[in-house]
Amino acid sequence: MSQALQVAVVGATGLIGRAILDLLAERQFPAKRVCAVDGTEHEGEVVAYGNLELDVQPLDEVSFDNIDLAFFVAGSEVSRQLAPQARAAGATVIDFSSAFRLDEQVPFVVPRINGAGLLAQEDVSLVSVPNCTVTPLAVALNALAANGLSRVTVSTYQSVSGTGQEALEVLADQTTALFGQREVETTVYPKRIAFNLLPRIGEVQGDGGTSEEQSVIDEVRRLLGQPALPVEVTCVRVPVFFGHAWSVNVALSQPLEVERARKLLAANGIHVVDDSQREDGYATPMEVAGSDRIWVSRVRATEAGLAFWLTADNVRVGAALNCVEVAEALLAAGKLR
């Protein structure tokens, strides 16, 4: 196993970049050097890496020549422009953006769903990971897939951290403005998010769906290897800082008892809350923020299959943890130089 790697995090001052740095330090990823890279406007800033502070290096001055592993978490424009360059310089790239998710030439990975497939691939120099709205949902669906998924119907409740750092400030500012009876500015989102719900995430497409909804459809199908799976989804932005939630209905071709479903979910590393008789017997985004688990509550039988409530920390479980788990899987298989 190669040790003491040189690692770069591109987009290091963002929410996901910071969470990746936290996880690398917490999980003692064997890095001999970690470069925090971001846009020029972040020059002079520092970011935490365990007990250390890293100076942010400007993107346009960074060479990937000595980098073994680069996490790209600065959006698809940066990934499209620089991931090929990093790869050509010899770095393995783990990309958290929409740039390569539907590219059949690029492995698209959640280790606990299709990690074995990743390790069987010859070229793992670029690995794409799913949208944070997809990973926890797909892990839960995969746990039930042996019973034949025939339709998935989902409504999402997505926290503002899914939009990035700036949206956290917008929700905080709007909330304090409302309490202070001051005028509320609407930036980042087209309507007020504080004490409101916005039933549109991403750009609207020709069929009336949004780019975020299409990502869920396309990426769930690709991860589960079911390209024709009917997936219906409505994505809603909610005034919560951290933690996404999903209301999920699955139609199954073979019946599955609730108790067995709970066991299958738990066997896939999901924390199943099983206190349906208690008034507070369910998990909420507030409780799961900061947790590295996916939480399922309210599992119940429906005419067609099952319904349940899912929630997870979008920044850690939905995004950063999956990136780091891909790196750990590559490292353990000797696929990082």
Ligand X SMILES: N[C@@H](CC(=O)OP(=O)(O)O)C(=O)O
Ligand Y SMILES: NC(=O)C1=CN([C@@H]2O[C@H](COP(=O)(O)OP(=O)(O)OC[C@H]3O[C@@H](n4cnc5c(N)ncnc54)[C@H](OP(=O)(O)O)[C@@H]3O)[C@@H](O)[C@H]2O)C=CC1
Hey, which residues are catalytic here?
132, 244
Give the three-class secondary structure for 237: strand
Task: Tell me the number of residues near ligand Y by CB under 6 A.
Answer: 28
Our finding on whether 249 is near ligand Y (CB under 6 A) is no
Residue 158 site contact among ligand Y, ligand X, none (CB < 5 to 8 Å, cut-off depends on kind) = ligand X
User: Least Å distance between CB 40 and ligand Y?
Assistant: 8
Binding to ligand Y in span 168-207, by CB under 6 A: none
Residue 165 site contact among ligand Y, ligand X, none (CB < 5 to 8 Å, cut-off depends on kind) = ligand Y
Our finding on whether 125 is near ligand X (CB under 6 A) is no
Burial of 258 (0-12, 13-18, 19+ CB in 10 A): middle
Our finding on whether 201 is near ligand X (CB under 6 A) is yes
Structure tokens at 220: 């769930």
Residue 38 site contact among ligand Y, ligand X, none (CB < 5 to 8 Å, cut-off depends on kind) = ligand Y
Length of the chain: 337
CB 67 within 8 A of CB 35: yes
Q: What are phi and psi of 89, to 5 degrees?
A: -80, -5
Our finding on whether 312 is near ligand Y (CB under 6 A) is no
Choose the binding region for ligand Y from 36-44, 108-116, 187-195, 204-212 (rule: CB under 6 A): 36-44
Dihedral sign (CA 144, 147, 149, 153) = negative
Binding-site member from 14, 111, 162, 243 for ligand X (CB under 6 A): 162
31 vs 25: CA distance, rounded Å: 9
Beta bridge partners of 6: 33
Binding-site member from 8, 74, 83, 124 for ligand Y (CB under 6 A): 74
Our finding on whether 77 is near ligand Y (CB under 6 A) is yes
CB 100 within 8 A of CB 127: no
CB 97 within 8 A of CB 82: no
Choose the binding region for ligand X from 82-90, 120-128, 155-163, 264-272 (rule: CB under 6 A): 155-163
Our finding on whether 283 is near ligand X (CB under 6 A) is no
Q: Measured from the CB atom, is 11 or 285 closer to ligand Y?
A: 11
Our finding on whether 311 is near ligand X (CB under 6 A) is no
The residues, ordered by sequence, that sit 6+ positions from 245 with a Cβ below 8 Å of its Cβ are 156, 157, 238, 284, 285, 309, 310, 311
Of all residues in the shown chain, the one whose CB is closest to ligand X is 162
